[in-house]
Chains A and B, each alone.
Chain A
Amino acid sequence: MNALNIALKDLQIFFKDRGAVVQLFLLPLLFIVVFSGALAAIGGSGEEEDVRIPLPVVDLDAGVAAQTLLDGIDAAGGVRVESYAQEEAQALLEESKLARVLTVPADFTADIASNRPVTLRLVNHPDAGAEKTEAVRLVVEGVAQDMSLESQILASLQQMGEMQANAPQQFQVFTVERTMAQARSQFERSRTQPLVELVQTVPGQEGEREEMPEAIQLAVPGFTVLFVFLTAQTTARSVYDEKKIGSFRRLLAAPMSKASLLAGKMIPNFITGLIQTAVIFAFGIIGMRLLGLASMTLGDAPLAVALVAVLVALCSSGFGILIAAIARTENQISGLSSLLLWVMAILGGCFIPLFILENFLGPLPKIVPHYWANRAFNDLLVRGLGLADVAAEMAVLLAFTAIFFVIGLWRFDFD
């Protein structure tokens, strides 16, 4: 009972501190909206708008091959072909009214037909975005490569036919016209029906093409873990404040055990962590939808998600006691421990997807509880796994909690 009384008192004190409430509840929601990239969705409201990069083109050739090339570029996606006359394009480019101009040389069609190498020039204004330029170049190059290959195949067939023309009649197995017609019909066909197709699937979904998860499915759990652990700081601060004003000594003088005193300090942290998780997840699921942004789902095992959330809140409480036991000054509690908590969050994959971190840092992220919490949430929310699959992660979280609590208890200075 004593522990609960202290917990209740601390919760009341905590929720009176509006700054702390803002930090622990409002900030994560802002984080989600601002940093999950969801805001970008607002910008793209005009659905019918052509968002492709405009590519002004000067077609000096005006032949069949040039038209095929430009149609190919326009159809490739990402780039919209706009026709200009040469002088006009040059003038607009120099006045910075155009970002770039692609020039198809005169005789393009004739050169392709006779297999002479040609060069397409993409001229960019110095202020043009380098990334857009690169994107445009890749599209143009892709289409040009396909055309190159086709024209080269045809040219080499022609060449072979000419070589064969000198051979005796009985060795001439096929005519040039026939082979070229065959090649052309196959080019046509391969455009609409590729011989080998790549089908991307996600495990668990039978053969169906599954959309990759929205960024928010990774972002919400990550920020939840970050902020639930930041709550640990509040516990440490509450212990520090009580020690400073002397009420901690009074509590000690009261007829109750040290354990229940510590438990009473931990419970508010635990409850706050649970409320945080609930608020942040609810916002990710409902709030984001109300805002018209991409929202998240709870995966296939909501119960397991809840269980992991409980363990994360517990682990954060343990960490709170640890900070309270080790940090000696106000500076250490507010400055250094927040640095520590943020570093742990970065290491533990609250900002950067775990697989990238692991690829980069090796086993290092495993030393922070955040890693295991994020891994469990990832498995449940993104990979659609169940409770049994995250048993190991949950066990590690429990172990972290135990270690934090034991060290905290051992080092805790009651006087």
Chain B
Amino acid sequence: MNAISHILSIAWKEIQLIAKDRGSLAVLFLLPLLFGSLYGSINLQMAGNGDDPTILLNICLVNEDAGIFGEEVAKPLRGIDELEIETFDAVAEAEQRVAKGEAAAAIVIPADFTQEINAYTPTSIEVMVDPAQPESASIVTGIMNQVVAEVTIWGEVQYGIRTILDEPGVLAEASAEVRRAVEAQNLGVIMTRLSEMRRNPAIVVTSEDLEGAQIEGGITLFFALMFPGFTVMFAFFTVGMSGASLLNEREAGTLRRLLAAPIPRGAIIAGKMLAYVMLVCLQVVVLLGVASVFFDMPLGKSPVALVLLTIVLALVATAMGMLVAALSKTAKQADNAGMVLGFVLAGIGGCIAMSPTPITRTEGFMSVLSKLTPHAHALEGYYSLMAENATFAQVLPEIGILLAMGVVFFLIAVWRFRFE
């Protein structure tokens, strides 16, 4: 009972100290919030789920073709919301705009485009893209592929009809006028039917899970990786802070005073750790809370597992802080070591989501390496729980590994730490 009250009073003292350190609190709370909401909003907008229409790209259009097919490419482009089309007469001018990064891409329809398609000669449309905007480039290319597919089908059908009409015997004695009329009529009929058909494809692909329920996909699942990524990364930024705070106390001599007081050593360390465990838990609650409220990030179906995972994460981070304190000579060293560790482990552990699934699920060297960090296991746990509705039992291995890591860190810290 006494020990608990000692621990609590030490923790309370530590919490008061933490609360005064506004700079660190800003780094621990505001920075991840800022990162998270900026990345989150951008991703939302790129995915087209935001309230505003999707991303707007400046596109230069150079249509050197006077014929019908050139117009058939240009017209649908003007109707696409994502594109702001500006027409140019000279290729050089458009190229200049793209080269300076003022436009995301320039689309150049060659002069003989219609002629070539009419003659059934392969032709090409040039899409000039700004190398500094690879994401825009892929959007433009995607749109152009669809537009070009339409024109291609039209060109193919027209050629097919013409080839058949040209055959000896077919309309041999008809006048050019009649032939054109027949050609146009057939083309019209076929194209109308085609557009009907494409609305009802003959082959439908369905995607379902084992129980037959439709699979949900999309951006909220990615958020269940991205936000925990930032959260875990910044949770471990407390490592330098907790480590340095312990050593500061030794340097300032207050640790000696605490030791002289009738408080067991274990209670001093436990109190300190409790304060930082609470800090990390608060971080997780704030960050994941914001993500859940403002970005519709799913929280999964097992709140108990979520809470437990968070507590274990906080324990590992705090134990790592004690480990850093035990291995560092000065508070400053601990602070720096904590920061470097924070970045490096976050990078290796996959906290900056560069793949759509946790790094532990990829194949190869990085995946193996990542499993050595607590970050990767915490992330894997959060992602399974929130994106895949894993049950408590399913994330038990991750919780166990994290706990084991925490215990190892703590034991080494106890072994190496010098109170004097």
**Beta-carbon contact of B45 and A360 below 8 Å:** yes
From the candidates B106, B135, B193, B364, name the one contacting A356 in the complex (CB within 8 A).
B135
Q: CB < 8 Å: which of A121, A179, A195, A353 contacts B117?
A: A195
Tell me the bound Cα distance from A151 to B42 in angstroms. Answer: 41
Contact B336 A19 (CB under 8 A): yes
- Give 14 A-B pairs besides A35-B352, A42-B365 with Cβ atoms closer than 8 angstroms: A34-B346, A119-B203, A127-B388, A130-B221, A133-B215, A140-B205, A152-B194, A196-B122, A198-B127, A200-B141, A212-B131, A213-B131, A342-B31, A385-B100
B294 at the interface (CB under 8 A from A): no
Contact of B152 among A31, A126, A196 (CB under 8 A): A196
Are A43 and B387 closer than 8 Å at their CB atoms?
no
- Among A334-385, those with CB < 8 Å from B are 334-336, 338-339, 342-343, 346, 351-357, 359-360, 378-379, 382-385
- B404 within 8 Å of A by Cβ? no
B42–A117 CB distance below 8 A: no
Within 8 A of A (CB), among B32-59: 34-35, 38-39, 41-42, 45-46, 55-56
CB-nearest residue of chain B relative to A142? Answer: B205
Interchain CA distance A84-B126 in the complex, whole Å: 43
Interface membership of A48, Cβ < 8 A: no
The answer to whether A178 and B164 touch across the interface, beta carbons within 8 angstroms, is yes
Tell me if B207 and A122 are in contact (CB < 8 A): yes
B175 on the interface (CB 8 Å rule)? no
B200 contact set on A, CB distance < 8 A = 117
Q: Contact mask A20-34 → B, CB, 8 Å, 1/0?
A: 001100110011011
* B residues less than 8 Å from A389 (CB atoms): 100
Contact in complex: A19, B210 (CB < 8 Å): no
Fill in one digit per residue for B118-154: 1 if any A CB lies within 8 Å of its CB, else 0. Answer: 0010111111111111111100010011001001110
Is residue A153 contacting chain B, with contact meaning CB distance below 8 A?
Answer: yes
Task: Pick from B35, B38, B206, B356: contact of A121, CB below 8 A.
Answer: B206
- Asked whether A339 and B193 contact (CB < 8 A) given A199-B126, A203-B95, A379-B101, the answer is no
**Contact residues of A between 32 and 73, Cβ < 8 Å to B:** 33-35, 37, 39-40, 42-46, 51, 69
**Which applies to chain B's interface (DSSP): helix, strand, loop or mixed?**
helix
B339 touches A27 (CB 8 A): yes
Interface residues of A (CB under 8 A from B): 18-19, 22-23, 26-27, 30-31, 33-35, 37, 39-40, 42-46, 51, 69, 93-94, 112, 115-127, 129-134, 137, 140-141, 144-145, 147-149, 151-153, 156, 160, 173-174, 178-179, 182-183, 186, 190, 193-204, 207, 210, 212-213, 218, 331-332, 334-336, 338-339, 342-343, 346, 351-357, 359-360, 378-379, 382-385, 389
Of all A-B residue pairs in the complex, the 8 with the closest CB atoms, nearest first, are A335-B23, A34-B347, A43-B364, A131-B356, A203-B99, A144-B203, A19-B336, A148-B201
A126 surroundings in chain B (CB, below 8 A): 209-210, 388-389
- Select the residue from B45, B145, B207, B364 with max chain A CB neighbours within 10 A: B207
**How far, in Å, is A174 (CB) from chain B's closest CB?**
5
Query: Do the beta carbons of A124 and B135 come within 8 Å of each other?
Result: no
A-B pair count, CB < 8 Å, reads 309
Do B123 and A134 touch across chains, with their CB atoms under 8 A apart?
A: no
Are B135 and A196 in touch, CB under 8 angstroms? no
**A353 pairs with B39, CB closer than 8 A:** no
Q: In the assembled complex, which residues on chain B have CB atoms less than 8 Å from the CB atom of A42?
A: 364-366
List residues of chain A with CB within 8 A of the CB of B202.
Answer: 112, 115-118, 147-148, 151-152
- Closest residue on chain B to residue A178 by CB atoms: B164
- Nearest residue (CB) in B for A41 is B366
24 contacts between A and B (CB under 8 A): A30-B340, A42-B366, A93-B210, A125-B210, A127-B388, A129-B357, A174-B165, A196-B148, A201-B128, A202-B131, A203-B95, A204-B95, A213-B134, A331-B21, A335-B22, A339-B23, A339-B27, A339-B31, A342-B27, A352-B38, A355-B101, A357-B42, A360-B42, A383-B101
